[in-house]
Chains A and B, each alone.
Chain A
Amino acid sequence: MSAVVAARRRITPGGLGATAALIFATAVALLPIAIVVFTAFKPIAEVNAYPPTLAPGEWTLDNFRRILDDLPLARLVGNSFVFAGGVTLFALCFDSLAAYALARIDFRGRGVLLAAIIGSLMIPFQATLVPVYQVVSDLGWVDTFAGMIAPRAADAFGIFFLRQFFLAIPRELDQAARIDGASEFRIFRSVVLPNAVPAVMTLGVFTFVNNWNDLLWPLVFTNSQEMGTITSGLTLLTGPSGIVPHGVMMAGSLVAIIPLVVIFLLVQRRFIESIATTGLKG
């Protein structure tokens, strides 16, 4: 923080009190994440010791060795990348194409279509899970990446989100391209899309994180351990079939959250801002 800002801010009792309250709230919010990180490196004796401690007295990689025996960890993480990455890639392509047509082309039926898409925003995926499973099963896609990715290759929220953003890009930018006789697709690709990078990136991170973290979806659409994601794979360790030591669970959990935390820290400022302003507040 620059000296100018620091100098301008006066130290007040209220400011200090609020800062202290926020430090406490942040500590509570980060405690579960801290316990995952610290417990993952604790020897088993310390994990089950009483009284319990936060940080390990002695650091070890035993829990990571152990989880590699219990789970095909590399495979699960790879599956998560293919599933969440695949959904993100398809959804960004399909949603942005549809959003462009809805935002910037005047065609017969647009109003009805837009209303239908906004209406389907209200449908929670849990409500269509049973029949979607039937469709995926009829296609013979249960326990395949196709079955996990295809139903989410486009979604109403993404279309609506990008349409709102495309509407705000000035129409004048199209004019030069239109005079040159550029097609709609060309205007989409070389005028609108380059001006919508922040929105597309926000939607991409949002989609990736949601799918990476989703538990119900992989539980339903996969039935072999080899096709599970890291999120669904970890829950197999806690069920009636096997109680795994806490340290091992936390090592697996740490593996599951590291990619997201890295992505988040790379994009956090812009990501939080666009979620708060463009996306949901309307």
Chain B
Amino acid sequence: MLTTSKARYRAPAPLGGRPRRRPPRRRSSGAAWGMLTPALVVLGIFVAWPMLVALRMSFTDASGFGDTAWVGLDNYVRAFTDPDVLDAMVNTVIYTALFTPAAVITALVLALLVNNSKVFFRSFFRTALFLPFMVSLAVGAFAWSYLLDPQVGLLNYWLSTSGVQLGNVLQDPTLAMPTVALVGVWKNFGFYFVIFLAGLQDIPASLYEAARVDGAGVLRTFRSITIPMLANTFTFVLVFAMIAALQTFDQIYVMTGGGPYGHTQTIVMEIYDAGFGRLELGFASALSYILLVATILLSVIQFVFFGRRGKDLS
């Protein structure tokens, strides 16, 4: 289809006269749809169609074997009444509440430090702090498990020499979740860090100059210039981090498998277990839709702020 449109003759744009606003619609439409076809086929088969199948399946008891019966809202009722699933939802919220502020504040503080022109080795810090984002969460999880090992873990040993006894954190019902959240922070903060850094560098230097001329101190400048100018970047990163937290899987699968006693079981772990472990496809589809709705709610918040920011700039 691309070669045919290429071969066809196109009338040149009128010279000197009123420029044509757009090329003839029909011909360009052909080219446009031709160029869109490969992507649309992929997205149609592997995103749009599965979304419809999953919606239908979420109202059935599909299991991958035998007959499938319509069960109405049973899967959704079960999702909000089954104690294990409710625990997974609560755990996901706890993870989000631990991960999001820790990751965002770490990233922001480091970005503020690296953005300070009096600091040395700034480009080295920028690269080095971004590096964990390139390492897989699975590998990060192996490394942290070993560092925190109660017998031979280096970090455990260092902390014990300074009087902090951690014990076996991954088997501890209260410490397991903060530990997997910490690994999530370690993996992701670098990404938020570079976004903050770019946001800081977008603040016009003239504003700081004016503040200096007016005799504003460091704290005053930070409160009156940096915070308001960075507010939109901050909102963006915050929502982005919350969405990432909802989808946590890798380090939990590697480090705790959802344990101890389900204390780190999250919603994506639950989808994986239901869909691919127990083959409860209908139920897994209902859980997927619940995750989808939660993600969309957060995204809508993000787009609302995003849109407002666009207006501010224009």
Contacts and interface: CB of A to CB of B under 8 A. Distances in A.
Partners in one complex: yes
A264 B190 CA distance: 14
Nearest to A34: B143
A35 B154 contact: yes
A97 B9 CA distance: 21
B50 interface: yes
Q: Which residue among B28, B39, B157, B272 has the maximum number of chain A CB atoms within 10 Å of its CB?
A: B39
B281 A132 contact: no
B132 interface: yes
B73 interface: no
Given A131-B54, A185-B2, A261-B131, A126 B40 contact: no
B275 to A, nearest CB: 4
B247 interface: yes
B127 interface: yes
Contact of A93 (B38, B119, B195, B309): B38
B210 interface: no
Interface string A244-282: 001001100100110011001000110011011100111
Interface in B225-258: 233, 236, 240, 243, 246-247, 249-250, 253-254
A50 B36 CA distance: 61
A32 B147 contact: yes
Given A105-B28, A238-B142, A276-B197, A128 B47 contact: yes
B292 A124 contact: yes
Interface stretch (B75-83, B93-101, B108-116, B171-179): B108-116
A26 B275 CA distance: 40
B134 A130 contact: no
Interface string B1-29: 01001111110110000000011010011
B129 to A, nearest CB: 6
A101 interface: yes
**Interface on chain A toward B: helix, strand, loop, or mixed SS?**
helix
Nearest to A32: B143
Contacts of A150: 42, 46
A106 B5 contact: no
A247 to B, nearest CB: 9
Contacts of B34: 185
A275 B126 CA distance: 13
A26 B186 CA distance: 11
A246 B146 CA distance: 7
Given A151-B42, A235-B254, A282-B309, A32 B144 contact: yes
Interface in A117-172: 117, 120-124, 126-135, 150-156, 159
A102 B33 CA distance: 10
Given A35-B154, A129-B288, A268-B127, A213 B194 contact: no
A108 B143 contact: no
Interface string A46-64: 0111111110000000000
B36 A101 contact: yes
A280 B291 CA distance: 23
B138 interface: yes
Contacts of B43: 117, 120, 154-156
Interface string B190-208: 1100110111000000000
A50 B151 contact: yes
B47 A97 contact: no
B9 A154 contact: no
A245 to B, nearest CB: 10
A74 interface: no
Chain B: interface size category: 35 or more
A173 interface: no
Interface string A196-232: 0000000000000100111110011000000000011
Nearest to B127: A268
A174 to B, nearest CB: 10
A256 B51 contact: no
B128 interface: yes
B311 interface: no
Given A123-B47, A135-B49, A150-B42, A216 B249 contact: yes
Contacts of A264: 131, 134
B256 to A, nearest CB: 11
B139 A234 contact: yes
Interface of A: 9-10, 12, 14-15, 18-19, 21-22, 25-26, 29-33, 35-36, 39, 47-54, 93-95, 97-98, 100-102, 105-108, 110, 113, 117, 120-124, 126-135, 150-156, 159, 175, 178-179, 181, 183-186, 188, 209, 212-216, 219-220, 231-232, 234-235, 238, 246, 249-250, 253, 256-257, 260-261, 264, 268-269, 272-273, 275-277, 280-282
5 closest pairs, A vs B, by CB?
A: A15-B118, A213-B136, A276-B198, A131-B50, A183-B6
24 contacts: A15-B116, A15-B118, A22-B113, A32-B135, A48-B151, A54-B154, A94-B42, A100-B35, A122-B292, A123-B292, A130-B288, A132-B46, A135-B53, A153-B42, A181-B10, A185-B6, A185-B34, A213-B137, A232-B138, A235-B138, A253-B142, A257-B136, A257-B139, A260-B135
Given A105-B31, A124-B291, A131-B54, 16 more contacts: A32-B132, A101-B35, A120-B48, A129-B272, A130-B271, A133-B276, A135-B45, A151-B45, A183-B8, A209-B134, A213-B139, A215-B253, A231-B136, A275-B191, A276-B198, A280-B236
